[in-house]
Structure 1
Amino acid sequence: MENEVNLRCFIALDLEEEAKEAIARFIGNAKTSFPEAKWVNPQQVHLTLRFFGAMNSSWLPLISSITERIAASFPKIPAFISKIGVFPEPRRARVIWMGFDALAEDRIKQLAEELNHQLWEVLKIEAEEKAFVPHLTIARLRKPKRVDLENFRLPGKIATNLYRITLYKSTLTPRGPIYSELSFYPLKR
């Protein structure tokens, strides 16, 4: 089609506002002890289920349909944000993230597995090769750096519900990515 364009898109689970506020407080405290990190705007924190990169816009209706169907079949996920981690490893970290309790993590993985299955069935989009780790990216490092995770202790568990699946467009800017909602679907009550 002539008017097809490539978009940078991803599908994510969204957090409740109270959890974003708690993450904002954590980031505010962590920034002072780790100023070299580029910290994520807490309002943009989300749990990416699937990143597409540059994607043909003609896929959007089918991806939206898949996302809506999956959201209608999965109940919202009560979760505790209960750990801090890094990718790829503490000796040469590039990403600092927050993770979930084991029960929530299992349910998130089930949802992601079903999403990948449907994307393959309908659009023949293969799942990523690396293992899916449910996480919330809170900071990125320009160069790999040793990160002592003892410096990043949560004051306690942050309770939330993962309550909807959103299809986002990501626009890269010199100041960082800007995420725009294309469509969203509440998880089953």
Structure 2
Amino acid sequence: MRIQTMNHMSKIRSFFAIELKSKLILDKIERYQRKLQKSIGPLKLVNRSLIHLTLRFLGDIDNETAKKLYNFMETEINNKYFNPEDEKIGILKGVGDFNKRVFFIRILGVKELLQEIYEKINKKTQSFPEIKLETKPYTPHLTIARSKRQSHHRSRQNQKSNPGQLPYPQLKSQYKEFEFGKWNIEKVVLKKSVLTPTGPIYSNLEY
């Protein structure tokens, strides 16, 4: 995990997130990703080191805004919601997709907590004109893969060329109640995202 201390005025592509560090859970996710790839065809798999829960995407913000949001996060979120004596345990159970374009793992057990934190963050972001208003309902999930263009057509071709592979509907049904593990949620972080031709590079912002 990279930590970056910011002290300049360049625009920062950023978002609030919760990190997933459990090797055991990530191993299980990676195994499902491989099965998904074989079933669907070419996918953009999220590297295990980048898998996280997004709470709120902020877009490109300036350094002063990032600093204010970081301080808000520490005082109003982390100090109030998280402490070692009161563990917040989420359960990663079941899989899903958004129109077979985004594939994810479901989060149970902490939905109300995550919704409350999201609403608090969303309310705070409204005081910054540079941050786009979020109107979609919040659905906490872990994105693990995205489809490449027309991959749903290639899925049928993939099954013809690999007849032993489980079709996606059956794979999805097989993992409907599968538990990837229990996730101890420790804190919220403010991440910087740098887009590159080989994928995003994330680092944690600190002030």
TM-score bracket relative to the smaller structure = 0.7 to 0.9
1:163 positional shift: 1.5
1:57 and 1:6 mapped to 2: Cα distance? 7
| Correspondence 1:94 to 2:101 | yes
2:197 and 2:178 mapped to 1: Cα distance? 34
Q: Find 1:57's aligned residue among 58, 63, 68.
A: 63
Q: Find 2:10's aligned residue among 5, 8, 13.
A: 5
Q: Give unmatched runs, 5+ long, in structure 1.
A: 185-189
Q: Find 2:93's aligned residue among 82, 100, 107.
A: 82
Change (3 A) 1:163 1:37: same
Note the aligned Cα RMSD (angstroms): 2.3
| Correspondence 1:111 to 2:122 | no
| Correspondence 1:35 to 2:16 | no
Q: TM-score, normalised by structure 1?
A: 0.82
1:104 positional shift: 1.4
Q: Which has the higher strand share?
A: 1
1:29 positional shift: 3.3
| SS of corresponding position for 1:164 | coil
Change (3 A) 1:149 1:100: farther
Change (3 A) 1:65 1:149: farther
| Correspondence 1:68 to 2:74 | yes
Q: TM-score, normalised by structure 2?
A: 0.75
Q: Find 2:192's aligned residue among 169, 179, 182.
A: 169
Aligned-pair identity in percent equals 27
2:12 and 2:199 mapped to 1: Cα distance? 16
Q: Is 2:18–2:53's contact at 8 Å kept on the other side of the alignment?
A: yes
Q: Is 1:16–1:163's contact at 8 Å kept on the other side of the alignment?
A: no
Q: Is 1:66–1:119's contact at 8 Å kept on the other side of the alignment?
A: no
| SS of corresponding position for 1:143 | coil
Change (3 A) 1:126 1:178: closer
1:77 positional shift: 2.5
| SS of corresponding position for 2:64 | helix
- Bigger Rg, structure 1 or 2: 2
Residue identity opposite 2:88 in structure 1: I
1:62 and 1:114 mapped to 2: Cα distance? 15
Question: How many residues are matched?
Answer: 176
Q: Give unmatched runs, 5+ long, in structure 2.
A: 1-7, 156-167
Change (3 A) 1:149 1:73: farther
Q: Is 1:16–1:162's contact at 8 Å kept on the other side of the alignment?
A: no
